Structure 1
Amino acid sequence: MIAIVKESATNDQLQHFVKWIEGRGFRTNVSRGENETVVGIIGDTTQIDPFLLESMDIIETVRRVSEPFKKANRKFHPEDTIVDCGHGVKIGGGNFQVMAGPCSVEGKNLIEIARCVKDAGATMLRGGAYKPRTSPYSYQGMGEKGLDLLLEASAELDMPIVTEVMDPRDVQLFVDKKIDVMQIGARNAQNFSLLKEVGKTKTPILLKRGMSGTIDELLMAAEYIMSEGNENVILCERGIRTFETRTRNTFDVNAIPVLHHLSHLPVVGDPSHSTGYTRYVRPAAYAATAAGADGLEIEVHNCPQEAWSDGAQALTPAQFADAMKRIALIREAVTADLDKE
Structure 2
Amino acid sequence: MASYRLVSREYKAEDTVIRLGDVVIGGTAKVFIAGPCAVESREQLLTTARLVRQGGAQILRGGAFKPRTSPYDFQGLAEKGLEYMAEARALTGLKIVTEVLEPDAVPVVAQYADLLQVGARNMQNFSLLKAVGRSQKPVVLKRGLAATMDEWLQAAEYILYEGNQQVVFCERGIRTFATHSRNTLDMSVIPALKQASHLPVIVDPSHATGRRDLVAPMSLAGLAAGADGIMIEMHPNPEIALCDGPQSLYPQEYFLLMQELRALSGFLGGLARQKAVGE
TM-score bracket for the superposition, by shorter chain length? over 0.9
- Structure 1 unaligned runs (5+)? 1-64
Q: 1:235 aligns with which of 165, 169, 187?
A: 169
**Matching residue of 1:45:** none
Cα distance in 2 between the residues matched to 1:143 and 1:131: 8
Alignment of 1:30-179 (within 5 A): 65=1, 67-84=2-19, 86-107=20-41, 108-175=43-110, 177-179=111-113
Amino acid of the residue matched to residue 323 of structure 1?
A: L
Cα distance in 2 between the residues matched to 1:258 and 1:298: 22
Q: Which has the higher contact order (CA 8 A, sep 6+)?
A: 2
Cα distance in 2 between the residues matched to 1:118 and 1:215: 33
2:236 matches 1:302 = yes
**Matching residue of 2:126:** 192
Query: Is the partner of 2:135 in helix, strand or coil?
Result: coil
Cα distance in 2 between the residues matched to 1:248 and 1:318: 23
2:220 matches 1:289 = no
Query: Is the partner of 2:80 in helix, strand or coil?
Result: helix
Note the alpha carbon deviations across 1:127-164, whole angstroms, 9 max, x for none: 00000111111111000000000000001111110000
Q: 1:313 aligns with which of 247, 250, 272?
A: 247
Counting matched residue pairs gives 274
**Matching residue of 2:156:** 222
Alignment of 1:6-45 (within 5 A): none
Cα distance in 2 between the residues matched to 1:296 and 1:310: 18
**Matching residue of 2:274:** 338
Report the Cα offset of residue 245 of structure 1.
1.2
Moved over 4 A (4+): none
After TM superposition, the score normalised by the length of structure 1 is: 0.79
Cα distance in 1 between the residues matched to 2:274 and 2:160: 36
Amino acid of the residue matched to residue 157 of structure 1?
A: T
Cα distance in 1 between the residues matched to 2:147 and 2:257: 29
**Matching residue of 1:36:** none
- Structure 2 unaligned runs (5+)? none
Q: Verify the 8 A CA contact 1:267 1:293 in the aligned structure 2.
A: yes
**Matching residue of 1:208:** 142
Report the Cα offset of residue 87 of structure 1.
3.7
Amino acid of the residue matched to residue 98 of structure 1?
A: F
Query: Is the partner of 1:281 in helix, strand or coil?
Result: helix
Cα distance in 2 between the residues matched to 1:159 and 1:87: 10
Task: Please state which structure has a larger fraction of its residues in helix.
Answer: 2
Q: CA RMSD in A?
A: 1.1
Q: Verify the 8 A CA contact 2:26 2:200 in the aligned structure 1.
A: yes
Q: Verify the 8 A CA contact 1:87 1:158 in the aligned structure 2.
A: no
Cα distance in 2 between the residues matched to 1:174 and 1:110: 17
Q: 1:263 aligns with which of 197, 208, 216?
A: 197
After TM superposition, the score normalised by the length of structure 2 is: 0.96
Identity of aligned residues (%): 47
Cα distance in 2 between the residues matched to 1:178 and 1:206: 15
Cα distance in 1 between the residues matched to 2:250 and 2:157: 36
Query: Is the partner of 1:200 in helix, strand or coil?
Result: helix
Report the Cα offset of residue 94 of structure 1.
1.1
Query: Is the partner of 2:222 in helix, strand or coil?
Result: helix
Cα distance in 2 between the residues matched to 1:307 and 1:263: 37
Q: Verify the 8 A CA contact 2:82 2:112 in the aligned structure 1.
A: no
Q: Verify the 8 A CA contact 1:292 1:334 in the aligned structure 2.
A: no
